[in-house]
Amino acid sequence: MSAARPTSSALDVTLADGVAVLELRRPPANYFDAELIGALVEATHALDDEPACRALVLCAQGKHFCAGADFGGSFSEDKPGTAARLYREAARLFESRKPIVAAVQGAAVGGGLGLACAADFRVADPATRFVANFARLGIHQGFGLTVTLPELIGKQAAADLLLRGGTVRGEEAARIGLVDRLVEPGAQRAAAIALATEIAGAAPRAVASIRATLRAGLAERVRQALEHELAEQTKLWRTADAAEGIAAGLERRAPVFTGA
């Protein structure tokens, strides 16, 4: 497993029976930064070159899958610069060559939704929440959701979620195609590993070829979308509404937007 030794203490990687399990370890919310996404990218790319690995499971420790980027600390001090570093790493995640199954518990919020949508499959339970809260923060969507969300659930459903800053729970997420396996609470990781193991049992060259065909051009489209998303976010971060939305989120209250 030395080929995929993580470069961050917030990421754990194990490999058994053809399936690598990559676990985010910043509970309970598993906020990410450029370092953590970079470590995840390095691990997935190392596993691309590991013959014993045929599929990946992306999961998280604690109550929630991922609440996205932490708006405190360096993010609050230099949002454009911090986001640019983060998105450079995020773009590389889509270059990973092996199938990824995400086990999503609790909530996948904002960038956490983007991370879940970077996977090939998502496993959730009926109470799992997928939250596209960008408009409620006064900012533009990020993490490539401009590309991935419409591809998964269709343009109209994506517009409905993004423009409302909405939330969809597990059963509805499964109905619209955002979730591929709906399981009992607490069974996400086992079900994700089972799906990944099934993929790992197929012919590896055929799996790689089929996946490359299905995802042809995705990494480049996401890279271009990330550049646009960052430009739009940079403009909107300067607005009073963004300041209000982020403050309201941190203070756990309803935002009051003025259009300023």
Q: Give mean pLDDT in consecutive 10-residue pieces for the chain, a chain of 260 residues.
A: 65 98 97 95 97 98 94 66 89 97 98 98 98 96 97 98 98 98 98 98 98 97 96 94 92 94
Q: Tell me how far CA of residue 33 lies from CA of 58, 60, 226, 237, 257, in angstroms.
A: 16, 15, 16, 18, 27
**What type of residue is 62?**
G
Q: Rounded to an integer, what distance in angstroms lies between the CA atom of residue 75 and that of residue 15?
A: 33
Would you state the structure tokens that stand for residue 39, as one six-digit string? 């470590």
- What are the structural domain ranges in the chain? 2-186+203-207
Q: Tell me how far CA of residue 180 lies from CA of 49, 200, 202, 258, in angstroms.
A: 27, 17, 19, 39
**What type of residue is 68?**
G
> What residue ranges in 199-240 does DSSP mark as E strands?
none
Predicted pLDDT at 197? 98
DSSP assigned state of 2: G
Q: Is 113 helix (H, G, I), strand (E, B) or coil?
A: helix
Predicted pLDDT at 72? 65
Give the CA angle between residues 94, 97, 98 to the nearest 5°: 110
Q: Regarding the domain delimited by 2-186+203-207, which CATH topology (the fold level of the hierarchy) does it fall under? A: 2-enoyl-CoA Hydratase; Chain A, domain 1 (3.90.226)
**Which candidate, 215, 213, 217, places its Cα nearest to that of 100?**
215
**What type of residue is 92?**
R
> What residue ranges in 25-69 does DSSP mark as E strands?
55-60
Predicted pLDDT at 79? 76
Predicted pLDDT at 2? 42
